[in-house]
Amino acid sequence: MVDVNAAQPFPFTFDPATTALVVIDMQRDFIEPGGFGETLGNDVSLLQAIVPTTAALLALCRAKEIMVIHTRECHRPDLSDLFAAKRDRGQPSLRIGDPGPMGRILVAGEDGAEIIPELSPMSGELVIDKPGKGAFYATPLTDQLRQNGITNLIFAGVTTEVCVQTTMREANDRGYNCLLIEDATESYFPAFKAATLEMVRAQGAIVGWTALFEQLEAAWND
């Protein structure tokens, strides 16, 4: 067992044999300059800042031989899994499916939908393509976790308040214990990240726990 005593709001204990790392949507269109995120007016350097820590987290989990899962928010080329309510909201200069700087926006198989090279999945790691914010909706994630006996999830990725938080809440409702690594997740809006961390661990870890990467690493290597 691993005891992350520095986790908030109180120590997080997990068995590596029943634990998986879930890295949410570290895709080129969200993180790289010239991608979809930047075309929406966002400062992608905020998201780029967590890449080294996320890479270190990946390396640690791979070294400990736990299950590693990557997600990508993307849609089928025919957009048959894209609701109009998602596509047509607001007044962006580009919408999902439109041609963008890295191919069609958030469409499976396009360059922009791929995970950034620094965090590329290794052979044998599960990659989940999800049409929604949460990784459990319309995906095989639940079945994959059950088949591998997973009961604890460590989370990283973007953005903290949208796809990461949504997936954590979905996981919480399905009975998983969730730990979010604070310096391996980020938002285009720092205040949103801060608020989400508070919400996650409020009221006795109502959604889950949070900890810094160095706190997890120290506990795991103790």
Which residues are part of the catalytic machinery?
A: 25, 130, 163
Alpha-carbon span 173 to 205, nearest angstrom: 13
Output the DSSP codes for the chain: -EEETT-BSS-EEE-GGGEEEEEE--BHHHHSTTSHHHHTT--THHHHTTHHHHHHHHHHHHHTT-EEEEEEE-B-TT-TT--HHHHTSS--SS-TTSEEBTEETTBTTSGGGSBPGGGPPPTT-EEEEESSSSSSTTSSHHHHHHHTT--EEEEEEE-IIIIIHHHHHHHHHTT-EEEEEEEEEE-SSHHHHHHHHHHHHHHHHSS-EEE-HHHHHHHHT-
